[in-house]
Amino acid sequence: MVHVPTWALKVGCFYGLITCNTRPGVWPKNKPVVIAWERPHTTHPNPPSHHTTTTAVVDSTTTLPVVTTTIQSGIVSSVETVSSTSTAPQSTFVTSVSSSDDPGSSSSVPSSSSSSCPDCSVSVPSQSLTSSSAIVSSPSSSAAHSSSSLATGTSSPVSSPVSSGVSSSNVGSSTQPISPTSTPVSSTAASTGVTSSPLSSSAASSSPASSSPLSSPATSSPSGTPTSAVSSSAASSSASSSAVSSTVPSSSASSSATSKPISSSTASSSPVVSSPSVTTSMSSTGISISATATATAITNANVAANILVIARDSASAGVASSGLNSYGIPFTTLIVPQTGVALPALNSSSGGNFGGIVVASEVSYDYGATGFQSALTTDQWNQLYAYQLAYSVRMVQYDVYPGPNYGASAVGGGCCDTGVEQDISFTDISDFPTSGLRTGAGVSTAGLWHYPATISNTTSTKQIAKFAANSVTASDSVAAVINNFDGREQLAYFIGFDTTWSATSNYLQHAWITWITRGLYAGYRRVNLNTQIDDMFLETDIYYPSGNTFRITTEDMDGVRDWIPTILAKMNAGSIYFPEVGHNGNGNIENSSSTDSGASQCNDGAIEYDSPPDTALEFQKPLGSGTNLWPATPTAYDWTTTCNKLDPLLNWWTTTANLNSFGSISHTFTHEEQNNATYFDVNNEISFNQAWLKATGIDQGIHFTANGIIPPAITGLHNGDALRAWWDNGITNCVGDNTRPALLNTANSMWPYFTVTSTDGFDGMQVNPRWATRIYYNCDTPACTLQEWIDTSAGSGTFDDLLATEKADTMRHLFGLHHDGYMFHQANLRNTGVSPITINGVSGQYSIFQAWVETQVAEFVRLVTWPLITLKHADMSASFLARFNRDKCGYSLKYTISNKKITGVTVSATDSSCSSPIPVTFPSAPSDTKGFTVEQVGSDPTTVWVQLSGSPVSFTLSTPISL
C-alpha cells in the first residue's frame, strides 16, 4: 500500500476526491479516516481557510410544504436617524406569524413537528406585535458570511477582512450561539425571532459566518408530507448590521423580545456622521446549485406579490427589507436563529404565497467544529428551490461567496482593507430595465467587504455588475450575477449590504427589487428633493468670522431665482424643482422701521421682547405655565402696506414671477422659540404671520402652504399650549428634526410622527421628518460652514470634503426613497460679494446652498435616470399622511398566471375601503385603468393609484409578462 501524506489526505477529503470521516468542503483538523477511495458525484472546491460548500440532492418528487399558520398582526419597523439614540430604518409592514403559546395545543400542527412559521413576519395592518418562534429539529445547512457593519462616529468608512477563526460580536442577533456539539431540540417552541429592542446607530460589528450544513434526518411537515433527508455542506456570509432595530410602538407592542435600548454616541444639533467603523470579510460558501429540484412549473395559478425575506436577525432583516419598505412593497420576514426554524407555508390551495424570496447572507452561523453553515437545512433550501420552479418565483441573495452555487469563482481573497477603494458599477440592466439605473457609473465599496469574481458557468450565469480594477485585482471582475439554473432564476451579489449607513447599499438594492418583482408591484418609486429655507426677512449672527451679521439681499435672491431653471435643466426628464421658503413677517417690519420714514409709517416699530434662556431640547412645558413675552398691544396685526413696502426685500417677494419661483410657508412672525411659550404668545406668532402673509400677497403664491409651519428652531413640539394654538389657527402639521429621535415615528421611518398628550401635551399634530445638513444656519460662506463643521462635529478637510460627506449622506437618503425635506437658512443663500465656488470642475457665483444642491443633483443624475420631484410643504405632508393611512389598510397584490405568463393583477386590502389610494406600479400601463389616477413621470414606470371601495380591483396587463 502506498503511503499517503496527511496533507494529501486532507486535500483529497476537502475536495471530495476521497470519502472520509469529514465532510467535503470542511478542512480536516486532524488526520482524516478514509472511508472510500472514490470521488463523490458532486463537489465544490473552495479555499480551506474559511469557505465550505454544499452538495444537496433533491428528490424529483419533492412536494411543497403546506403549513398551517396563525397570524398575529403587527407592524415592526424602525426609523433611521442621524442622532445618537435613534434607531435605523427597517420595514414597511412587517408583522408576525406565530405558533400557539403551547406548541402542542394546535390541532393543525402535529406534535412531532415544529410550529408552522414561528419567526415569520407578514404584512398586516395592525400596530401590535406578538411573535414566538420554534426551534426545529434539524440543524442548519448552507451558508453565511460577515459583511461590513459600520457605526457612526468616524468620518470615513473602514473595514478589515476577517480571517478564518476571527469573529466579532453579532449585533442584533436574536439568538445565542449554540455549542457545536449540541443537537437542536425537535418540536420545541421558544421565544425568539423578531427583536423589538432598538440597537443604537453606533453599534457596529458583524461576525463572519460561513457555514457548512449538517445533515438532517427526515422530518414531517405540519401537513404530514415527509420532507427528504438530504445531507449537505455549505457556507456563506452572514451580515450582522449595526444600528438597525425592530421597534414597536410601546402603546400596543407585545413581543417576546426585550425592549431595552442600547445607547450610542451623543447627538448634536448638526447631523452625526453616519459612517462605518469596522467589520468584515465574507466567509462563505453558497448553497448548492447542483440540487436537482425538479418541480413542474404551474402554468395557471395565482401568486401573492409578497416578498419572503429570510435573515438571521431583525437587524439583517431590516437591511434586507428596507428597500421594499421604501417602495411600500408588502413583504414577510422569516428570522432564522442558529437552531433553525420551520419555513412558512410556501403555497396553499389558492396558489403561491410569495412572489419572490430574498436571503440575506445565506443565514449562516458558526457551528464550531463543523464550521459555518446555513441555519436552513438542505431540505428547506430545496423546498425553496422547488417552489421557485413551480411558481416561476425569483430568488435574490446578497453577501455571498462566489462559487458553483452562483456560477462564479472568486478572484483572490476578497477586498478591501481600510484605505483601499474598489468601485462597483452596473454593466447590464436588460433584465430590469425599469430600474432606471445607469450602467458604468461606479460607486464606492468602502466599508463593504466583497469578493471579486469571474464567471465559471457561462451557460447559466450572466454578469450584471462589476468591480473595477484596483491594487488588489489587476482587471475588472464580476460583482453580481443573474443565474438561470434550468428555470430557477437567482440574482446574487458578492458584496455585503448595510442600508443603515451605506449609500452604495441603498443604490444597489434597486436592481434586485425591480428584478425580483419584474417591475410589477404594489408600491411606487419616487424621489423628492424638498429644500426648505428658514428665516426669510430675519437677520442672522454669523458664526465665522464672529461679530458679523447677514440678511439676504434682493441681488442674492436674483441669483438664486435665475439659477433655478439652470439646475432644473441638469436634472433628469420629468423633474420639478423649486426651493421653499419659511417667512418671518416681523423681520419685514423691523427692516421697514429702520428707514427714515419707518418710525412714522410702522406703528412705532416691530414686536420686540427679551428672549429668555433656552430650555432643554426635549423640555415638556406644564400646560398653562410660562410667561408672556409679547406686549399686550397690538392685539391684532395692524401694519400697513406702506410700511411693508419700505423694505426692498418685501418688494422683491411681491413680484409675481419671483414669488412663484419658490414655495412659501409660515415660519411664525417673530421666531419666538416655543418650548416654554404661552398660548397667548404662540397664538400671536401664528395669527400675526398669517395676517402678514395675506396683507403682502405672499399667500397667493402658486406653491403656498396654509395648513403647515416650520416651527422656529423646531421648538414647541412638546408644548401642548403651543400645539393647541397652532391647531386653533388651522395648522395641522409641521416639520421636525431628524437628529432628534423624540420627533420621529419609531414604528416606520416612512411615517410622520403624531404628537401625543403624554409626552407632548397635545394629540394629533403631524410632524414630518426633515434632515439637517452641514450647511449651518449661521453661515454665509464655505469658510464659515467648514469651520463650524470642524469645531462642532469633528469635521476635517476642505469645503469639498464637507460636500462629499453631505453627498454620501444625501444619496443614502434619496436612494432610500426617504421623502424628508432638507433644512437650510436665509444666510446660506448669499451669492453676491463672495468668491466663486467650483463644483464638479465648474466655477460659478454659487451660494453654499446652491453648491449643496449642485453636488447632489450631479451625483444623482450620474447614477440614475429618475426624475427629482419637489413638493410644496402641504403636498409633502399629505403624502406622508397618505402613506401612513394606506399602510394601516394592509394592502396586497396578487398575480394572475395564465399559460406561464402574468396576465393580470388584483389589488385588495384587509380594510377593503381604505381611505388612501394604493399605488400599483406596472412596467407598462394596464389595458384598462378603470378611471383611477395614472401617474407616469419622466422615465419612471407607470403607477396607477387604486381607490378601493369595498372589494378587490383587478387589472389586465396590456403586455403579459412571460415567466
Q: At CA 280, angle to CA 279 and CA 286, rounded to 5?
A: 150
pLDDT of residue 93 exceeding 70: no
pLDDT digits (tens, 9 = 90+) for 667-715: 999 999 999 999 999 999 999 999 999 999 999 999 999 999 999 999 9
Q: Find the mean pLDDT for residues 34-49.
A: 34
pTM of the model: 0.76
pLDDT digits (tens, 9 = 90+) for 435-484: 999 999 999 999 999 999 999 999 999 999 999 999 999 999 999 999 99
Please state, rounded to an integer, the average pLDDT across all residues of the chain: 78
pLDDT of residue 236 exceeding 70: no
| Residue 107: Cβ-neighbour burial (10 angstroms; 0-12, 13-18, 19+) | exposed
What gap in Å lies between CA 28 and CA 9, rounded to an integer? 9
| Residue 836: Cβ-neighbour burial (10 angstroms; 0-12, 13-18, 19+) | exposed
- Residue 962 CB coordination number (10 Å): 10
- Residue 807 CB coordination number (10 Å): 17
Of 279-293, 579-593, 613-627, 770-784, give the lowest mean pLDDT range: 279-293
- Helix 782-793 with 848-863: angle, nearest 10 deg: 80
pLDDT of residue 599: 86
pLDDT of residue 84: 30
pLDDT of residue 303 exceeding 70: yes
The three cell numbers locating residue 155:
468620518
Of 272-286, 474-488, 626-640, give the lowest mean pLDDT range: 272-286
Q: Find the mean pLDDT for residues 7-28.
A: 59
What gap in Å lies between CA 250 and CA 163, rounded to an integer? 41
pLDDT of residue 379 exceeding 90: yes
DSSP state of 434: G
Nearest C-alpha neighbor of 399 from the set 502, 504, 494, 516: 494
pLDDT of residue 65 exceeding 60: no
- Farthest CA pair distance, the chain: 116
Residues facing residue 943 across a β-bridge: 921, 935
Amino acid at 861: V
Q: How many residues does the chain have?
A: 963
What gap in Å lies between CA 212 and CA 746, rounded to an integer? 37
Residue 136 · residue 130 · CB < 8 Å: no
Percent of the chain at pLDDT above 90? Answer: 68
Of 5-14, 248-257, 657-666, 907-916, give the lowest mean pLDDT range: 248-257
Place of cell 395559478: 301
- Residue 350 CB coordination number (10 Å): 11
Place of cell 417667512: 583
pLDDT digits (tens, 9 = 90+) for 424-443: 999 999 999 999 999 999 99
Q: Which residues have CB under 8 Å from 625's CB, separation 6+?
A: 676
Which DSSP string corresponds to 128-140?
A: -----EEE-SS--
pLDDT of residue 203 exceeding 70: no
134 CA to centre of own chain = 28
pLDDT of residue 17: 56
pLDDT of residue 800 exceeding 90: yes
Question: With bands split at pLDDT 50, 70 and 90, how would you rate the model's confidence at 179?
Answer: very low
pLDDT of residue 99 exceeding 50: no
Cis peptide bond prior to 545, omega within 30° of 0: yes
The three cell numbers locating residue 5:
501524506
| Residue 720: Cβ-neighbour burial (10 angstroms; 0-12, 13-18, 19+) | buried
Q: Which residue has the higher pLDDT, 228 or 398?
A: 398
Amino acid at 601: Q
Which DSSP string corresponds to 252-287?
A: T---SS--PPPP-SPP-SSPPP------------PP
Amino acid at 406: Y
pLDDT of residue 13: 59
The three cell numbers locating residue 641:
402696506
Amino acid at 304: A
pLDDT of residue 327: 98
pLDDT of residue 57: 33
Residue 478: its H or E element? strand 477-485
Q: Find the mean pLDDT for residues 266-291.
A: 35
Question: With bands split at pLDDT 50, 70 and 90, how would you rate the model's confidence at 107?
Answer: very low
Cα 737 to Cα 82, 561, 710: the distances in Å are: 10, 27, 11
pLDDT of residue 82: 27
Question: With bands split at pLDDT 50, 70 and 90, how would you rate the model's confidence at 193?
Answer: very low
Across 137-151, 194-208, 528-542, which has the greatest mean pLDDT? 528-542
Q: Find the mean pLDDT for residues 316-329.
A: 98
DSSP H helical segments within 364-495, as ranges?
A: 378-391
Place of cell 457593519: 149
pLDDT of residue 263: 28
pLDDT of residue 268 exceeding 70: no
Q: Find the mean pLDDT for residues 195-199.
A: 28
Nearest C-alpha neighbor of 665 from the set 553, 534, 562, 753: 534
Q: At CA 212, angle to CA 211 and CA 217, rounded to 5?
A: 130
CA dihedral of residues 897, 898, 903, 905 (deg, nearest 10): -40
What gap in Å lies between CA 649 and CA 644, rounded to an integer? 10
pLDDT of residue 730 exceeding 70: yes
Q: Find the mean pLDDT for residues 370-394.
A: 95
- Would you call 375 helix, strand, or coil by DSSP? coil
pLDDT of residue 25: 57
184 CA to centre of own chain = 34
pLDDT of residue 819 exceeding 60: yes
What gap in Å lies between CA 323 and CA 500, rounded to an integer? 11
Q: Find the mean pLDDT for residues 8-12.
A: 63
pLDDT of residue 296: 83
Residue 958: its H or E element? strand 953-962
What gap in Å lies between CA 269 and CA 83, rounded to an integer? 9
Nearest C-alpha neighbor of 431 from the set 386, 466, 462, 467: 462
Q: Which residue has the higher pLDDT, 693 or 228?
A: 693
Residue 281 · residue 208 · CB < 8 Å: yes
Q: Which residues have CB under 8 Å from 130's CB, separation 6+?
A: 72, 74, 96, 98, 254, 255
- Would you call 354 helix, strand, or coil by DSSP? coil
What gap in Å lies between CA 959 and CA 921, rounded to an integer? 14
pLDDT of residue 91 exceeding 80: no
Amino acid at 161: P
pLDDT digits (tens, 9 = 90+) for 613-629: 999 999 999 999 999 99
Residue 768: its H or E element? strand 766-768
Question: With bands split at pLDDT 50, 70 and 90, how would you rate the model's confidence at 175?
Answer: very low
Q: Find the mean pLDDT for residues 102-129.
A: 35
Place of cell 452596473: 426
Which DSSP string corresponds to 530-574?
A: -EEEEEET--EE-SSSTT-EE---HHHHHHHHHHHHHHHHHSPTT
Of 66-70, 523-527, 642-646, 834-838, give the lowest mean pLDDT range: 66-70
